[in-house]
Amino acid sequence: MVTRFILMDIEGTVSDINFVRNVLFPYSAKEMRNFVSRNKTNPTVRECLQQTGAADDESAIQQLLAWIASDTKHPALKTMQGLIWREGYESGAFRAHLYPEVVPTWTRWTSQNLRLGIYSSGSLTAQHLFFQYSEMGDVRTYLQAYFDLSTGAKRETESYKKIAAKLDLPPGQILFLSDIEEELDAAKIAGFSTALIVRGRDSIQSKHVQYHQLSDVQIN
């Protein structure tokens, strides 16, 4: 079946995972308490604090910080991080990392009438900020769709069925690129084409075709 849409993970696929681990996560941890203090009446902040199940704001903050430390993909944390990262991006504290071949490859793919999108555990807000404030500038014009955990967990087949339905495409016309084999397994069961991105490492034993970078990917 001909590929019409390329769905991509962020960390390890289009961006170095160390940017998230060494820049974004520490920034959100460092700024969490001050951000909550300055935005206590913000309805979204209040909802996130309540979603932790904690009895008071300080306990909620401690829970959010613990989730950052354990890389727990809780929706409340992802929403809070997106709000905090917005301030960091807008202040120029950092710019999102993209691998150098990403934008040239996206340019080539879009010239071939391929549509592109993102599926990440980061909130939709965080995803838009990431691509708006990248080291390569605002690259959001390349992306037609964004999906986060509100669609479902990335290792669950049902999530990919929902994505195909939202894109109004047969699953076989969607190619999913990720560095996480379990995510690709779920997508493949849903009928997607899949490819494992193995940046900076040797190929591994896998049921998925493997590439070292996006520019190597072969499109049907």
Segment 63-108, tens digit of pLDDT? 999 999 999 989 999 999 999 999 999 999 999 999 999 999 999 9
CA gyration radius for the chain?
18
Tens digit of pLDDT for each residue in 128-169?
Answer: 999 999 999 999 999 999 999 999 999 999 999 999 999 999
Please tell me the predicted confidence (pLDDT) of residue 3. 97
Confidence at 204, pLDDT banded by 50, 70, 90: confident
Q: Is the pLDDT of residue 203 over 90?
A: no
Please tell me the predicted confidence (pLDDT) of residue 155. 97
Which among 178, 86, 161 has a CA at the least distance from the CA of 123?
Answer: 86
Please tell me the predicted confidence (pLDDT) of residue 122. 87
Please tell me the predicted confidence (pLDDT) of residue 32. 98
Please tell me the predicted confidence (pLDDT) of residue 123. 87
Q: Is the pLDDT of residue 7 over 80?
A: yes
Dist. CA 30–CA 64, nearest whole Å = 12
Please tell me the predicted confidence (pLDDT) of residue 197. 96
Compute how many other C-beta atoms are within 10 angstroms of the C-beta atom of residue 181. 18
Which domains are present in the chain? 5-16+97-216 (3.40.50.1000), 19-91 (1.10.720.60)
Cβ burial of 220 (10 Å; 0-12, 13-18, 19+) is: exposed
Please tell me the predicted confidence (pLDDT) of residue 1. 82
Would you give the end-to-end CA distance of the chain in angstroms?
A: 7
Out of 4-13, 42-51, 114-123, 196-205, pick the least confident. 196-205
Dist. CA 167–CA 175, nearest whole Å = 12
Dist. CA 103–CA 97, nearest whole Å = 12
Q: What is the mean pLDDT of the chain?
A: 95
Which among 134, 25, 119, 21 has a CA at the least distance from the CA of 80?
Answer: 25
Q: Is the pLDDT of residue 220 over 80?
A: yes
What's the whole-number mean pLDDT along residues 168-179?
A: 98
Q: Is the pLDDT of residue 62 over 80?
A: yes
Q: Is the pLDDT of residue 201 over 90?
A: no
